[in-house]
Amino acid sequence: MKPNNTTLNDSDNPLLRQWNAAYGLPPFKHAQPEYFEEAFEAAMAAQRAELDVIATNPAPPTFANTLQTLDQSGSLYKRIELLFSNLALSNTSEALQAVQRSMAPRLAAHENAVYLNADLFARIDALYQQRQQLALAPQDLRLLERVHLDFVRAGARLTGADRLRYAAVVQELAAQCTAFSQNVLADENSFLLELKGEADLAGLPDFLREATRTAAEQRGLGTGRYAVSLSPSLAEPFLTFSTRRDLREALWRARSTRGAHEGASDNRPVAARIMALRQEQAQLLGYASYADYELADRMAGNTTAVLDLLAQAWEPAKARAQEDRATLTAMAASQNEPVPIAAWDWRYLAEKVRAQAFDLDNSALKPYFTLDNMIAAMFDCAHRLFGLRFVEQHGLALYHPDVRAWEVQRADASLVGLFLGDNFARPNKSSGAWMSIFRSQSGHNGGTLPIVINNNNFAKASPTLLSFDDVKTLFHEFGHGLHGLLSQVHHERLAGTSVLRDYVELPSQLFENWALEREVLQRHARHFESDESLPAGLIDKLLAARQFNQAWATLSYTGPALIDMALHSLPNGTAVDIAAFEAEQCRLLGVPADVGLRHHLSHFGHLFSGPSYAAGYYVYMWAEVLEADAYEAFGEAGNAFDAVTAARLLQQIYSAGNSQEPAQAFRNFRGRDPQVGPMLRKRGLLRT
């Protein structure tokens, strides 16, 4: 077989043949675990051959024969890797997990072969050194600078023993991060709280009873039984509504201790090993800590900027939490609940206070938020802002019956891309919510259209009813999806969400704001039985309660962000006991025990399932500063769908990818640098 940069059509492996499905979708029905190892080996060999052609080209390096050719290389490898990584997250199996464990260090070795190719880097570096004399177009210069930095940060300047050791560290990190993810999923799947009889269902509204019945069926308990898994879409409502304090405690403890049990899925030694390897990686690259390494390529730039931002929220939130605690304690006493309150009481009591203070019962809201209506709402917002139309496509061969597909069109009916939605929790699906792609946008070969997917973990029911937090999650991931769909750049390395980590959350968090627009709620929030619109009075109460319990939300998020930064700021060579470190940081920070942490280190996938959010959980608040300020531009225009502001937003943020520095992109949109005040006001932490 002779590999080329697209396909191996003479192979018996269906993953290596031309993908002829509609829209260029992967051949999902043939994407069996047994095909991936051979497909990866062939694809890696094909990409290495392509890179060798670039690296050994006798002609002097030019942008066209080096950078542009590099950006177009590896198409076979990219499509197989994207297919595999998406299935590993969304529709895994024991066989696929075995392949994942086997391939993780081999894929890392392949990445090393790319970035540690000395001849290839020499050509890139030669162009980089003379970049100011090349008269490159702005996007071409941006590609050169970003690719050069990619290689440097991946060890391209290392030599000798350091080069070899760096490659070994990266390979072991890949294996350890894979183990961490699989351990979390194993712990989540090993727990199921069966609700035996009416006493265990006490306090649960009808929508939650229906969801727990579906969960029991999915986990093999049979029909007519009820159970709660650790999926947030089930666990969080249960903690909110169940009157059974003992069951709330059991569920809360199970969620908090994922990955922290003796045995095969114990993530404490895994996380400790990851930290040791990251410190060694940072040392080899000349950084004093892993945080220094990561922040060198972020908007924040250094730990001081991160800690300054988090501190502006942490201390005011602790002060507000004291006020809230007094209110919740009084509510507990009025309900004959034990005091002092505990972490498994906070959601439950807060819901009762919310109902009393704002005359707002979340269980009364939920019937108005069906999944289908909220999908229609987010599509409508995208249409009004950016002129997009979403046309559902039926009959496509996708990887699971839950997945739906929409063709995304412009106003002139030209094709933008394909959008997939996989919205339900399953035992073989990672928890949480995320956006990914099966194909990136680019301008290569006449242009490639993106295939974007959003994953959520809503509790499946008939109909599926969402909490308003679920609605915001749906809009959040769709904001990421739009960032991928609307990308209009030439070079794939700069396309879509390939931006700095503390900038990538701007388009997603910004889009959440439209879920709270009154006219959006009036149009799309409709009762699943009567089809009546959400009453104006309920909308008023929902909007009035926006800042309720924000101290708890801020602390439960900011605590893990501060612990993440402290952990990754440890000097290289510092041994870490994960559990002891977390406990000590909680003591130093004064984390309120009745608030707790949104994530504990033993299951903190943002940090340990890969490098993307390591020393980076702060990015959500950093991006919140950007999005709160950005959304005020629409307020200043007097219209949440102002056409001029939306056009500027599209041009400077949603379609620009990584074609310019993010700080400059924000200034181009807003006319100035971001201000922190709007974020603090939004959270109710800045009194005005």
CA pair distance 262, 56, nearest whole angstrom? 52
What dihedral angle (degrees, nearest 10) is formed by the CA atoms of 272, 277, 278, 281? 170
Per the document, the length of the chain is: 688
pLDDT value of residue 484: 98
> Tens of pLDDT along 459-506?
998 899 999 999 999 999 999 999 999 999 999 999 999 999 999 999
pLDDT at residue 44 is higher than 90: yes
CA pair distance 685, 688, nearest whole angstrom? 9
> Tens of pLDDT along 130-173?
999 999 999 999 999 999 999 999 999 999 999 999 999 999 99
pLDDT at residue 3 is higher than 60: no
pLDDT at residue 265 is higher than 70: yes
pLDDT value of residue 117: 97
Contacts of 24-28 with CB under 8 Å at 24 or more apart are: 24/439, 24/449, 24/451, 25/396, 25/397, 25/398, 25/418, 25/438, 25/451, 26/79, 26/83, 26/438, 27/397, 28/397, 28/398, 28/399
> Tens of pLDDT along 94-126?
999 999 999 999 999 999 999 999 999 999 999
pLDDT value of residue 361: 84
Helices (H), 569-618: 578-589, 605-608
Query: For residue 2, what pLDDT band results from cuts at 50, 70 and 90?
Result: very low
CA pair distance 37, 103, nearest whole angstrom? 7
DSSP string, 462-518: SS-B--HHHHHHHHHHHHHHHHHHS---SSGGGSTT-S-HHHHHHHHHHHHGGGG-H
Strand partners of residue 391:
407
> Tens of pLDDT along 337-347?
999 999 999 99
Query: For residue 609, what pLDDT band results from cuts at 50, 70 and 90?
Result: very high
Q: Among all chains, which residue has been given the structure tokens 């608040």?
A: 621
> Tens of pLDDT along 60-102?
999 999 999 999 999 999 999 999 999 999 999 999 999 999 9
Of the chain, the percentage scoring pLDDT greater than 70 comes to 98
Q: What is the mean pLDDT of residues 583-592?
A: 98
Same-fold call for 14-157 versus 268-358+550-617: no
CATH classification for the domain delimited by 268-358+550-617, as one of 1.10.1200.10, 2.130.10.10, 3.40.50.980, 1.10.1370.10: 1.10.1370.10
pLDDT value of residue 4: 42
Any catalytic annotation for residue 315?
no
Q: What's the pTM value of the predicted model, to 2 decimals?
A: 0.94
Helix axes 550-568, 268-284, angle to 10 degrees: 60
Query: For residue 686, what pLDDT band results from cuts at 50, 70 and 90?
Result: confident
What's the sign of the alpha-carbon dihedral 222, 225, 228, 234?
positive
Q: Among all chains, which residue has been given the structure tokens 């030599």?
A: 159
Query: For residue 363, what pLDDT band results from cuts at 50, 70 and 90?
Result: confident
> Tens of pLDDT along 205-222?
999 999 999 999 999 999
| Six token digits for residue 439 | 């194909």
pLDDT value of residue 10: 64
pLDDT value of residue 100: 97
CA pair distance 70, 91, nearest whole angstrom? 32
- What ranges do the domains of the chain cover? 14-157, 191-256, 268-358+550-617
CATH classification for the domain delimited by 14-157, as one of 1.20.1050.40, 3.40.640.10, 1.20.272.10, 3.40.30.10: 1.20.1050.40
Q: Which of 50, 81, 210, 477 is catalytic?
A: 477
DSSP one-letter code for 280: H
